[in-house]
Amino acid sequence: MTYLSSSAGNIRHNGTGRVYAGAVAGSSFDDLGELENLNFGVSVSTEKVKSNRTAARATILEVESEREATLTFGLREMTNNNLKMALMGGDFNTQNQSAGYVYQTDPTLVDDLYVDLGHLNVFLTKLTGIITGSLSVGDTVTGATSGATGKVAYVGSGYIELVNVSGTFQAGEQVYETQDTNYITPTGVETLEDVVVTDVAGATRRVNGADYSLDADSGYIRQLSSGTTADTDVVSYDYEAVDKQYMWAMSASSVQKKMIFVSDKDDRGPRSRWTFHKVQINLNGDFPLIGSGGAILNVTGTVLFDASQPSGQEYFKKELIG
């Protein structure tokens, strides 16, 4: 028997490519970026008619009752457009945090519970060295060489803690309130992920880990019931500039997209393009917020009938590119 030869070029292996999504019937598209996977599936439901003439009840007719095509894919890139599409959200809003400082604010602290300071990436500056004369809470100090400035939030034994710092202090320079009279000569300059918690007079410093605990990155502080903090204590700190955006997820009634998949031209196997005219997007499965490995946003799309397309072309188009 003679067999026809096979062509390896007809076999697709380890598929790669790109996926674009845009408005239904539109002509401009967003690149979804890196995907974990992209799968196309078709299911066909049928109804079977059984014979009533014999006990065997053999199937004498099978009629198609429903057909459905789906796309499933995992989004690796958490772009605004990807999140808006997959989480069925509204538009993103900008709420950037500009760099600034807080001086002796009086937050409502709760025993053993975290409260929000209202800022991200909080910190303080600590100068360690010999203090000459006297420095007081509330003083503004200036670096004689660097020109840096800061506001004293606490004066300790051989160190001061500053907020509202502008510039960079240098070890060995005179950092003064009154030059040559009231100053510190720092041997160390540190930026610490901490806040200055004191009594209202600024005389007693509360201790991080004993009196309070802090998530400096997220700006959450917790008063420890085993510590010595008081309801009248005040908090001082600097905070960094942070770009921040937000959206309200699941606020859109539905999300429909025109989606196009193009295989990479150097991929193994036939080069192709798939155009899905109207796809209903649905979030599908878990999105790991904590875990190991990449966080994949799993999405399922149902390929819908698009009545705006010519007869026989209402679902999708598959092209082979030579």
The token duo for 219 is 């700006």
**What's the mean per-residue pLDDT of the chain?**
94
Domains of the chain: 15-92+249-321 (2.30.110), 100-239 (no CATH)
Distance CA 320, CA 281 (A): 26
| 251-303 pLDDT per residue, tens | 888 899 999 999 999 888 889 999 999 999 988 878 889 988 889 999 999 99
Bridge partner residues of 32 (DSSP): none
Judged on CB neighbours under 10 Å (0-12, 13-18, 19+), 319 is exposed
The answer on pLDDT for 1 being more than 70 is: no
Q: What is the pLDDT of residues 77-94, one digit of tens each?
A: 999 999 999 999 999 999
Local structure of residue 51 (DSSP, 8 states) = P
> Has residue 41 got a pLDDT over 90?
yes
CA distance readout (Å), 144 to 44, 180, 311, 319:
80, 10, 81, 72
- Residue range 160-209, pLDDT digits in tens: 999 999 999 999 999 999 999 999 999 999 999 999 999 999 999 999 99
DSSP per-residue letters across 174-210: -EEEETTTEEEEEEEEEEES--EEE-TTS-SB--BTT
Contact 107, 118 (CB under 8 A): no
Q: Give the model confidence (pLDDT) of 140-168 as tens digits.
A: 999 999 999 999 999 999 999 999 999 99
